[in-house]
Amino acid sequence: MSLYSPYKGKKGVKRIINAFYYSITGLIIAYQHEAAFRQIILMNLILVPLSFFINVTSIERALMIAVCLLAIVIELFNSALEAVVDRISLERHILSKNAKDMGSAAQLIAIFIILSTWLIILSH
């Protein structure tokens, strides 16, 4: 038995197609099963278009959008971490709780980054 995933052997275009499929599947699963992910998506659906109606420089707009997208990335990692912890065991354990709490803390920091970035840019 190999220690590596059988999917890791794919190369070239087939690997790219598989990777794209897995990525889209991950987004769909996150949207269907994670309320926090849907909330972050909703926030992005409001803030990203809004950034185009605010009188800021292109660099400022790019930064405003980038920090919003960062929250999506962090929520995907947080959801993946929670899934792995739950896959290992559903029983309560302090290490499981710590891992989930730290993932949640990462998302909280992402929200603070969005808030502070937007406030700094809009206040000048």
Residue with tokens 């800021």: 56
Tokens linked to 122? 């809009």
Active-site residue identified among 34, 60, 75, 91: 75
CB 7 within 8 A of CB 18: yes
- Distance (Å) of CA 83 to CA 5, 12, 38, 86, 99: 18, 30, 16, 5, 11
75 is catalytic: yes
Catalytic residues: 75
